[in-house]
Amino acid sequence: MSKLATSVPRRTFVQAGLALGASQVIGAPFIIKARGEEPVKIGMVNPLTGVLSALAQSEVDGAKYAEAEINKKGGILGRQVQLLVEDSANDVGTGVQKTRKLIDRDQVDVILGDVNSGIAYAMSQVTNEKKVFHVVPGGHTDPITGTNCKWNVFRVCNTTTMDASAITPELVKRFGKKWFFITPDYAYGHTLQDAFVKALTKLGGTYDGDMLPINNTDFSATLIKAKAYKPNVLLNNMGGLTQINCMKQFTQFGMQKEMALGGALFELESIKGCPPDAQTGWWTMEWWWNQPNVPEVMKFVADYRAANNNKTPSARDWFGYVSVQTVRLAAEKAKSLEGPKLAAALEGLELPPDVALQPGKVFYRAGDHELMPNIFVGEVHPPKGDASDVFTTAELVAGEQAAGSVADTGCNMVRPT
């Protein structure tokens, strides 16, 4: 026996044995208390490296802010929230692997992710198989809540159809209906361009364009092709760093003097990465921080800045924030963290004003599990005073108006029996 062991009085071992015996006699209450003290684990998979990393990081920031806010108020169902974040590295295989790891090894209750629509869809195959509740904060491709909708999957960001439907009439009205697309060659880009083409041709428009790799760096050949086509509008559908590079090359070619610029998304993170002459065009924002007539938004922005080194929240921060708050709202209504019960509770649920952070009714549509917020249509410009004041809203388009009916999405929801 070691010196350490011999130094422990015999009475200690006797007391420990009595305590163990007592716990065996009254074991069930002891176990219940231990489980109640376990955190509610939320796993988040996002591309924290790669061309979409800035967008992904903002979603994580928003989720962490919600985690802290909820924990200060007592957690979810009386338990603290623990956010576990994994990097998908903008790779489908890695995203699936990290999802399985969070579910099987870390025993998370809920999954969030991914910014990359292709990864989000692949993740949904895993979460559906495992019957785990899954919120997609910022992967936009239509089939996630359309033809491939699943009972356990809900989405915060818009579908590509919603964004295209909201901005197309504005671009046609202001500039004309001959368009050129620069589009990323993956799930998001394909469904976004398809939605734009459908909306444009319905208005009698014509188009040309190129599909390019998601991490493309040289746009010169495509921009020369666009100049020759002489469109009224060039639509830059790229994302993250790739979109920034395209915007820089567009302005270096002086093409902003020859055609209008616009598209679905030119996000705050990307706008700030561009020089002033590339901060231009007409776009949609899926949430915007500068809403002076909505008191909940003004408070949220002030509090968020104070907690995040004066960072102004973007739509991506809001996506992450809403995603975690969605888990809380669903759990409070369901009184459970079981996937089927959370999903049933969330169908048709309206976000409260301090989570919706915009005017009007914002709710999860029961038929396809798509959030129905406002879509902010407006103009991007260099900063006006505040460094983040780079967008002016011209119109709010109701999400349900832009989304069309559930039948239009192709969703045929099959719920668990």
Q: Is pLDDT of 321 > 70?
A: yes
* Span 81-104, average pLDDT: 98
* Better-predicted residue by pLDDT, 24 or 407: 407
Q: Place 417 in a pLDDT band, splitting at 50, 70 and 90.
A: confident
* Span 179-184, average pLDDT: 98
Q: Place 385 in a pLDDT band, splitting at 50, 70 and 90.
A: confident
DSSP 60-105: HHHHHHHHHHHHHTT-BTTB-EEEEEEE-TT-HHHHHHHHHHHHHT
Residues 200-237 as b/e (b if ≥16 CB within 10 A, e otherwise) read beeeebebebbbbebebeebeebbeebbebebbbbbbb
Q: Is 39 helix (H, G, I), strand (E, B) or coil?
A: coil
Neighbouring residues of 211: CB distance < 8 A, sequence distance ≥ 6: 183, 184, 185, 189, 190, 193
For residue 97, how many other CB atoms are within 10 A of its CB?
15
Domain extent listing, the chain: 3-36, 40-158+291-373, 161-285
For residue 408, how many other CB atoms are within 10 A of its CB?
11
Q: Which two tokens stand for residue 85?
A: 């974040």
Evaluate the CA torsion angle 47, 50, 56, 58 in order and state its sign: positive
Strand order, beta sheet including 178-184: 206-212, 178-184, 233-236, 260-265, 282-285, 374-380, 391-398
Q: Where are the alpha helices (DSSP H) in 153-207?
A: 160-175, 187-202
Range of weakest confidence among 21-35, 87-101, 160-174, 230-244: 21-35
For residue 158, how many other CB atoms are within 10 A of its CB?
29
Topology adopted by domain 40-158+291-373 = Rossmann fold (3.40.50)
Give me Rg for the CA atoms of the chain.
24
Contact call for residues 151 and 242 (beta carbons, < 8 A): no
CA distance 55 to 315: 9
Tell me if 40-158+291-373 shares its fold with 161-285.
Answer: yes
Residues 292-309 as b/e (b if ≥16 CB within 10 A, e otherwise) read eeeebbeebbeebeeebe
- The partner residues of 285 in beta bridges, in order of sequence, read 376
CA distance 43 to 38: 15
Tens of pLDDT along 116-170?
999 999 999 999 999 999 999 999 999 999 999 999 999 999 999 999 999 999 9
Q: Is pLDDT of 330 > 90?
A: yes
Q: Place 37 in a pLDDT band, splitting at 50, 70 and 90.
A: confident
Contact call for residues 392 and 289 (beta carbons, < 8 A): no
Closest among 411, 403, 334 to 367, alpha carbons compared: 411
- Token pair 């559930």 is found at 406
Q: Place 36 in a pLDDT band, splitting at 50, 70 and 90.
A: low
Tell me which H or E stretch contains 156.
Answer: none
Phi, psi values for residue 309, rounded to 5°: 55, 40
pTM here is: 0.90
Kindly report the CATH number that applies to the domain delimited by 161-285.
3.40.50.2300
Neighbouring residues of 26: CB distance < 8 A, sequence distance ≥ 6: none
- Tally DSSP H helices, then E strands, for the chain: 17, 14
- Token pair 């099987």 is found at 104
Q: Is pLDDT of 50 > 50?
A: yes
Tens of pLDDT along 212-270?
999 999 999 999 999 999 999 999 999 999 999 999 999 999 999 999 999 999 999 99
E strands, 250-408, are 260-265, 282-285, 363-364, 371-372, 374-380, 391-398
